[in-house]
Amino acid sequence: MKYILTVLLLLVAPLPAHAAAIDKLKTFIAATRSAQADFTQEVLDQNGKRIQSASGTMQFQRPGKFRWSYRKPYEQLIVGDGERFWLYDADLNQVTVRKLDAALGSSPAALLSGSNEIERGFTLTENGSREGLEWLLATPRSQDGSFSRILMAFDAQSGLAAMELSDMFGHKTVLRFSAMQRNPKLPEQQFRFAPPKGADVLSE
């Protein structure tokens, strides 16, 4: 069964090495309007065993526009056009569409969506240093979201380097980013989606 990360993550601008992780997160929200990067994704079970892996590219443009293209091991596309959330599964030729606010909820996308009131939805705690990175813990104040806790790691050169997302079932999704570009000019059509001809469209 495919495990699909249906939350979209944004990237952070370079920040001074001495800045704490929470300060870096807040600076990102004020400074970064768009970004693109490659990513890898692993899903681990309760025992730390890898059960899924994937890779692809992501882009975002604040506020509320994003595009995640999964290339391996299966082709999927997730697009946020500012109003709607689109999930296209190429193998099934199936599209799921939802209102953007309903799709995001208490997610990393909500955490990084552009609001300067981060701590309204999340409790932020410094989580020390490891692997040469500074970590913070974001705990959703509401328990109706998909994730019980979110760890975010920052480096001095490229900003957000990794995220670890723990769900209610004990699974952990680990995302790592590379080849980041901050504030690139991205074409508007990247954030538009039209269902392919013949695709099943499911509205939620």
Give the pLDDT confidence of 1-17 residue by residue, as tens digits: 444 443 333 333 333 33
The separation between CA 46 and the C-alpha centre of its own chain, rounded to angstroms, equals 22
pLDDT given at position 82? 86
Q: Which stretch of 5-14, 81-90, 186-195 has the lowest confidence by average pLDDT?
A: 5-14
pLDDT given at position 10? 36
SS3 content of the chain, % helix, strand, coil (to 5): 15, 50, 40
* Per-position DSSP letters for 100-124, written without gaps between them: HHHHHSSSHHHHTSS-S-HHHHEEE
Domains and CATH numbers, the chain: 21-203 (2.50.20.10)
173-198: b (≥16 Cβ within 10 Å) or e:
bbbbbeebebeeebeeebbebeeeee
Question: What gap in Å lies between CA 138 and CA 120, rounded to an integer?
Answer: 11
pLDDT of 18 higher than 50: no
pLDDT given at position 97? 94
- How large a percentage of the chain has pLDDT more than 90? 37
pLDDT of 140 higher than 60: yes
This prediction's pTM: 0.80
pLDDT given at position 108? 57
Kindly report, residue by residue over 92-115, the tens digit of the pLDDT.
999 999 988 776 655 555 555 545
pLDDT average, residue stretch 8-31: 58
- Which structure tokens are listed for 115? 């609001």
pLDDT given at position 1? 44
pLDDT given at position 54? 93
Give me the chain's average pLDDT, please.
81
